A and B are shown apart, each in its own frame.
Chain A
Amino acid sequence: MATKRADIISAKDLSRSIDRAVALAAKRHEVKAEPSNLLINWEILGRILREFEDINAAFTFATDVTKNVELRGIRAEPACLKIGRDILCGFVERAGLPKEIRF
């Protein structure tokens, strides 16, 4: 019987291995991912929420904040970003909406 060994990844194979792992994970977790990489430059003006775990609830909060901001004449869109255990929540000014740079 053949010996079972774990795979090993060298620096040369790393990028290709990650691409394959991303494709597998997308199927495994039923997530649809664009095939190309994406770099998004943006700025969220807002706060870090430490008590929220539900990003949908955080987005509702961001929407309320944005409505108040728009009353002051700033054209904005609500935005949330979850990084690790924190949720960044606030708004993006429309002039600074995310710009997609495909590479």
Chain B
Amino acid sequence: MLEEKHELSCPSAQPDMEGSRVFGVIGGSVEEPRVAYLKESAVVDVSFYGKLGTLQPTHVFRFAASCEEHRCAHYDGQRCTLIQRIVEKLDPVVDLLPPCLVRPTCRWFAEVGSEACRRCPQVITMIPKGDDKLNQAARMDQ
């Protein structure tokens, strides 16, 4: 069981984390970002980074990578507190689970199941400044 935990992925990772890969592109609108999920055949490699200009990769893509557990501020020793806050503070935005390349190893799905997947499309890793619900869920001071 412990070994399985070590194989879990973080679905809100940074591009420089171990095992990082793009699994979504942030579309939607300026006000309402929504992740579009990549099919297995759609592979984003570094050649696409040339399109970003001065934007950070996390402005445009969602990354998954190996969960860093104790090295991550959101990990409380047993679980990811970020997905707990997301489920508490954000409403679901889809009715059906998106076809997601990360789900088989996703820590969020492993911990809270489909409640994570139904909220996941509104999550962006690099959040613009503001005090909307996504910012409130990302903050750890509550």
Contact = CB atoms under 8 A, between A and B. Distances in A.
Interface of A: 3-11, 13-15, 17-22, 24-29, 31, 33-34, 37-39, 84-85
B54 to A, nearest CB: 6
B29 A8 contact: no
Interface of B: 14-16, 25-30, 33-39, 41-44, 48, 50-55, 59-61, 93-96, 98-99, 121, 126, 128
Contacts of A4: 93-96
Nearest to A5: B96
Given A9-B38, A21-B26, A33 B94 contact: no
Contact of A31 (B15, B33, B38, B53): B53
A78 B126 CA distance: 29
B59 A9 contact: no
